[in-house]
């Protein structure tokens, strides 16, 4: 059973009040702790009546609804939230208002470094990541940047806690530059903030991906807006949520079923590209069909890897770079992964072949 999509989260204080009242009603934290599912316990199969998953997974929501797979949700309810990206998802996790979200590989690191324990339960990557990057460097209309070496002395949008920030650090390193060689302008990438900063020439360069890049070029290309590629692999995306989600036996069991449906929805997208482009890129994101097709055929392609070892290895390399460049504590990223779901997903992929 699916509940209608609730209104956007607007008042975190109100949510926190509701949470505190709920804890008091059910006996507080001690009662919750007593029923925690251990991290090494087998994932349960039975979903208790009344279980609800609160999910900020817009692409998956659209795929499930467009494909009709949403009708296969049984034994639990889903509340959809129009939330994506690191800053919004972490804020919602802290307010106990969301159980999982879909992001790049930086938000789980940043959440951990800012005392918001999370777990990663699914990963995806691009089948041809260097030829089809998620991000390109958007160039402001009045800026002259044609190669990575032209970045020297430029103002670059930079968000330390997001994938875009990590990409900038890696790009500078690849170009033989340091942070001292450029002016990093700290701006969170939320909605159209980077596109607007470029269009107003507030910054010279900002990483833009997918629909944002297509929209930016469509709007400002006539004024001289362009983009260049970094040559850096940036395709790591994942589903993650607060630890509490997967310590709750009911939610943990529901997530097993949900991830199986997610795998089926990914196959549906592969087999029905035109329907997917219309449903997501046109109806949900507001692109033309032609622009949506371009995005889908490049950065929009995803695959579900058979195993997580290589993905985790790359994630560790990224964490090490951020620890060094942003002065964070060293982090063993293997502790962030709930690998019980690795087998769940692998089995679902095999079943769909």
Q: Is the pLDDT of residue 154 over 90?
A: yes
Which of 229, 252, 268 is the last residue before a domain boundary? 229
pLDDT (tens digit per residue) in 222-259: 999 999 999 999 999 999 999 999 999 999 999 999 99
More confident residue, 311 or 11: 311
Report the pLDDT value the prediction gives residue 33, as an integer from 0 to 100. Answer: 54
Whether 1 maps to a domain, the answer reads: no
Strand 52-56: give its sheet, edge to edge.
77-80, 52-56, 100-104, 237-242, 118-124
Say if CB 151 and CB 177 are below 8 A apart.
yes
Domain extent, residue 97, equals: 52-126+235-352
- Answer yes or no: is 37 within a domain: no
Q: Is the pLDDT of residue 87 over 60?
A: yes
Whether 33 is in a domain gets the answer no
Residue 4 located in a structural domain: no
* Residues 211 and 286 grouped into a single domain: no
What string of DSSP letters covers 324-340?
HHHTPPP--GGGGB-TH
Q: Which two tokens stand for residue 257?
A: 């079923």
Between CA 210 and CA 100 the distance in angstroms is 22
Residue pLDDT, tens place only, 167-182: 999 999 999 999 999 9
User: Percentage of the chain surpassing pLDDT 90?
Assistant: 77
Indicate whether 5 pLDDT > 50: no
H or E element, residue 206: strand 205-209
What is the C-alpha R_g of the chain? 21
Task: Reply yes or no on whether the pLDDT at 265 is more than 70.
Answer: yes
Taking the C-alpha atoms of residue 227 and residue 135, their distance in angstroms, rounded to an integer, is: 10
What's the average model confidence in pLDDT over 65-82? Answer: 97
Domain-located, residue 19: no
Q: Across all residues in the chain, what is the average pLDDT?
A: 89
Q: Domain containing 305 — which CATH number?
A: 3.40.190.10
Residues 265/302, Cβ–Cβ less than 8 Å: no
- Please report the pLDDT score of residue 29 as a whole number: 38
* pLDDT category of residue 23 using cuts at 50, 70 and 90: very low
pLDDT at 163: 87
- Domain stop point among 196, 229, 262: 229
Query: Tokens 């975190």 belong to which residue?
Result: 12
Residue 84 has a pLDDT of 85
Are 106 and 167 members of one domain? no
Name which of 18-27, 196-205, 269-278 the model is least confident about.
Answer: 18-27
Task: Note whether 336 and 317 are same-domain residues.
Answer: yes
Residues 6 or more apart from 18 whose CB is under 8 A from it? none
Mean pLDDT, range 31-38, rounded to an integer:
66
Same domain, 341 and 247: yes
Question: Which of 204-208, 291-295, 344-348 bottoms out in mean pLDDT, i.e. has the lowest?
Answer: 291-295
pLDDT at 123 over 60: yes
Q: Do residue 260 and residue 342 come from a single domain?
A: yes
Same domain, 105 and 147: no
Same domain, 182 and 324: no
Asked if residue 245 and residue 106 are part of one domain, the reply reads yes
| Cα–Cα distance, 209 to 186 (Å, whole number) | 18
Total number of domains in the chain: 2
In a domain, 258, yes or no: yes
Q: Which of 229, 248, 269 is the last residue of a domain?
A: 229
Residues 149 and 203 in one domain: yes
Tokens 């999910």 sit on residue: 55
Q: Do 255 and 294 belong together in one domain?
A: yes
343 lies in a domain? yes
**257 shares its domain with 198:** no
Question: Is residue 201 domain-resident?
Answer: yes
Do residues 189 and 138 make contact, with C-beta atoms less than 8 angstroms apart?
A: no
145, 186: one domain: yes
User: Rounded mean pLDDT of 206-233?
Assistant: 93
Measured between alpha carbons, how far apart are the two ends of the chain, in Å?
Answer: 28
- Tell me the pLDDT band of 113, cut-offs 50, 70 and 90: very high
Q: Is 101 within 8 Å of 56 (Cβ atoms)?
A: yes
- Give the lowest-confidence range in 8-22, 249-263, 278-292, 311-325: 8-22
At residue 30, the pLDDT reads 39
Q: What is the pLDDT of residues 296-324, one digit of tens each?
A: 988 778 899 989 999 999 999 999 999 99
């Amino acid at each position: 059973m699916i509940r209608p999509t609730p209104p956007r989260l607007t008042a975190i204080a109100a949510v926190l009040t509701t949470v505190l009242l709920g804890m008091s009603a059910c006996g507080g934290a001690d009662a919750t702790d007593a029923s925690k599912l251990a991290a090494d316990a087998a994932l349960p199969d039975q979903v208790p009546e009344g279980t609800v998953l609160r999910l900020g997974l817009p692409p998956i929501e659209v795929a499930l609804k467009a494909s009709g797979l949403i009708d296969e949700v049984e034994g639990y309810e889903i509340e959809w939230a129009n939330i994506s990206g690191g800053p919004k998802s972490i804020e919602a996790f802290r307010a106990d208002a969301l159980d999982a979200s879909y992001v790049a590989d930086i938000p789980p690191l940043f959440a951990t470094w800012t005392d918001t324990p999370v777990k990663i339960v699914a990963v995806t990557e691009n089948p041809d990541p260097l030829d089809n990057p998620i991000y390109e460097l958007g160039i402001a209309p009045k800026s002259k940047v044609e190669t990575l070496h032209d970045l020297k002395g430029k103002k670059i949008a930079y968000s330390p806690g997001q994938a875009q920030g990590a990409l900038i650090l890696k790009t500078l390193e690849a170009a033989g530059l340091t942070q001292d060689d450029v002016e990093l302008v700290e701006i969170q990438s939320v909605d159209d903030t980077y596109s607007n900063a470029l269009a107003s020439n507030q910054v010279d360069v900002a990483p833009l991906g997918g629909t944002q890049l297509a929209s930016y070029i469509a709007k400002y290309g006539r004024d001289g807006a362009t983009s260049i590629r970094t040559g850096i692999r940036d395709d790591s995306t994942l589903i993650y949520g607060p630890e509490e989600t997967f310590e709750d036996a009911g939610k943990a069991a529901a997530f097993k079923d949900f991830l199986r449906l997610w795998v089926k929805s990914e196959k549906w997208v592969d087999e029905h590209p035109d329907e997917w482009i219309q449903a997501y890129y046109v109806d949900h994101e507001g692109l033309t069909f032609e622009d949506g097709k371009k995005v889908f055929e490049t950065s929009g392609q995803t695959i579900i890897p058979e195993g997580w070892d290589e993905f985790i290895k790359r994630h560790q390399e990224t964490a090490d770079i951020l620890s060094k460049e942003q002065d964070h504590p060293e982090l063993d990223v293997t502790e962030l992964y709930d690998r019980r779901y690795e087998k769940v997903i692998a089995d679902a992929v095999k079943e769909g072949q």
